[in-house]
Amino acid sequence: MDLGKTGDLARPSSVLSDGTIRRLVDEGRIEIDPWDPGMVQPASVDLKLGASFRVFHNHRIQVIDLADPPSGLTEHVEVSDDEPFVIHPGEFVLGRTEEFVRLPGDVVARIEGKSSLGRLGLIVHATAGFVDPGFAGSLTLEITNFNSVPIVLRPGLPIAQLSFMTLDTEAERPYGHPELGSHYHGQVEATESRYEGGPAATARS
C-alpha cells in the first residue's frame, strides 16, 4: 500500500511496516528525535527511557477521589545519564521516553511495554497507550514493578515499542487543535495526570 500525502488517504486502516515507518520518518511525516534506524522492528520502533520521572507522595493522601482529583500528587525527579533509578516492589512511577515524537494528522500510534521486561515483572503502559494523530511531545510512561525485588532503571534503556496505524482520512481536529483539551501536547518531561474529574468537578464549574 502506498502511503501518500493526507489528501490521498481514502483507504482502510492498517499497521505500518518497518519499511513504511523508515520512509515516513525520512520524509518528515513522522518525527522521532533522536532517530536511530537500528531501533526499528518489523512493525514498530523501540523507544528508550528518558531521565525524567515522577514519584508519588502516597503519604500525603488517604484516597484519590476521581470525582475531585487532588493536585500535586507527584514529585519530579531527574537523574543523570549514568545514575540508576530504583523502583521498588509494588511501586508505580511515571517516566518518559528519551525520544520526542510527532505524528501527522492521518496516523495514530500505540505504545506498549517490551515483553522481555514484562517477563521480569516490570510492566510499562498497561493503559493509556493510544497516541492521537497530531500529537507532539515525549511520551509519558506508566511503570510498575510487580516483582518481589527492586528493579534498577537507567536512562537509555530500551523500555517500550511504538507501532503506527493509518486513519481512513485525516483527522478533522487532530491532537493540539484549539477546540480540544489536549492536556499533554508538547510535553517534554514525565507529566502527571491532568484528569479533570467527574460530577463534583462539573458542579464546581
Sketch out the chain's domains with CATH numbers: 7-58+72-172 (2.70.40.10)
Would you call 142 a catalytic residue per the annotation? yes
pLDDT in tens, 16-40: 999 999 999 999 999 999 999 999 9
Is 12 or 150 the better-scoring residue by pLDDT? 150
Residue 177 has pLDDT above 50, yes or no: no
> What is the pTM (predicted TM-score) of this model?
0.78
Which triple of cell numbers denotes residue 97? 521516553
Residue 127: CB partners within 8 Å, gap ≥ 6? 142
Decide if 109 contacts 16 (C-beta within 8 A).
no
What is the rounded distance in angstroms from the CA atom of residue 201 to the CA atom of residue 205? 7
Mean pLDDT of the 159-164 span: 96
Name the active-site residue from 27, 98, 99, 142: 142
Q: What percent of the chain has pLDDT over 70?
A: 74
Coil, helix or strand at residue 123: strand
